[in-house]
Amino acid sequence: MRHASDFGDAQCQNPDDENHITFHSGSEAAELQWEAKPGWHPWDQGFSLSVKKGVLRRGDIVTVHMGGKRGYRAQSFSEVGAGFRLGVKTEPDAPWIVSPREDARMFDITGGDASGIKAYVKDINNVDPHKTVCVKVEDIYSNIGVGEDMELDVLLDDRIFLGILTVAGGEGGDTAISREFTVPDDGKWHTLTLASRDGKFFSRTNPFGPSLLQGYGVYFGDIALGFSASGGGGNAVMGDDVFMETGSDIQFDFHAVCHGFFERVDIYVNNDLVKSYHNVPQSWYINQVTEYRNTYRDTVKSGVNFYWVKIIQVDGGIAWSSPIFVHGT
């Protein structure tokens, strides 16, 4: 299962916990055993079933049930056309035979009823008066999605009406709904407020105005985040694959700006926390805007390993990068 770093990890030890799986061979002659396969590029989240005892005969059906009592945690944004693919090999050293993409079991990841919205402005460091405001609609589980049409008034600095942003039912998934508005080019800091007319939904964007820095990779509400890797003749940014010699040095650079303060920065390798920076030093900018830069160094390991960074603000805001996949050759 290809994922965005927060898809659930399969487990079969505790049926009362989430992400529990069960499996059955459908044959009394075969006993199966399972092994978790996190970071199994390019599927990233998966598990392997093998015959522990006996044999599987032609026509036997292996059934896998995912979810158990508490369900299976999917990624925290809606996506149409996600899928599972099956790989089989008859001998330990034999190559995997992977089912064709057109035979994959397809499904959609959707959010529940809307419980809140999050609004932000793209390019907070750009003084262009034409600003694009974005809104993401969340359900009670922080999944992104909306079932019904929604109209939101857009106000400049909580007092000047700029227009209406409409979110159609079924929208608001991994790509936020957005619309461009014109704001005063006066060199001052401003905010945009999005509010439903029934008063149920309300969100204020991060401040925007004077130019700060350019070239960030992604924006998460109040956090702008960049993440890259270099070394051994290769370079990569978020979402890339990079091939380097096993044992060579690799360097990861991360750079973030937020409104407020950073509390912690975590570095993950294959979803395992390997480094945590607490009480991080940060540069102070105008209007409660802070910046943080740092570098993490490692040695390239054999196989495929994926690295990603997670940023946590003092006020609980969170951002994480897409993984960088490092192939040791």
Question: Cα Rg for the chain, rounded, in angstroms?
Answer: 23
Model pTM score: 0.42
**CATH class (in words) of the domain with range 218-328:** mainly beta
Q: Do domains 116-204 and 218-328 have the same CATH topology?
A: yes
Confirm if 90 and 123 have CB atoms less than 8 A apart: no
- State how far the alpha carbon of 298 is from the alpha carbons of 127, 249, 275, 286, 304, in Å: 38, 6, 11, 35, 14
| Mean pLDDT per 10-residue section of the chain, whose length is 329 residues | 64 87 80 75 70 84 83 69 75 80 74 74 62 76 63 88 80 61 72 85 74 44 78 81 91 82 88 85 57 89 91 81 88
Sequence spans of domains, the chain: 20-109, 116-204, 218-328
Instruction: Give me the pLDDT at residue 274, please.
Output: 94
Instruction: Give me the pLDDT at residue 127, please.
Output: 53
Question: Residue 233 contacts by C-beta under 8 Å, 6 or more apart in sequence?
Answer: 244
Length of the chain as a residue count: 329
Instruction: Give me the pLDDT at residue 187, please.
Output: 57
Instruction: Give me the pLDDT at residue 268, please.
Output: 93
Q: Please count the other Cβ atoms lying within 10 Å of the Cβ belonging to residue 314.
A: 11
What CA dihedral angle connects 89, 91, 93 and 94, to 10 degrees? Answer: -40
Instruction: Give me the pLDDT at residue 317, please.
Output: 77
Instruction: Give me the pLDDT at residue 246, please.
Output: 92
What CA dihedral angle connects 1, 76, 68 and 22, to 10 degrees? Answer: 10
Question: 102: which 2 tokens?
Answer: 């057109």
Question: 69: which 2 tokens?
Answer: 């009592």
Give me the CATH code for the 116-204 domain, please. Answer: 2.60.40
For residue 210, say if its preceding peptide bond is cis, omega within 30 degrees of 0.
Answer: no
Instruction: Give me the pLDDT at residue 5, please.
Output: 55
Instruction: Give me the pLDDT at residue 86, please.
Output: 77
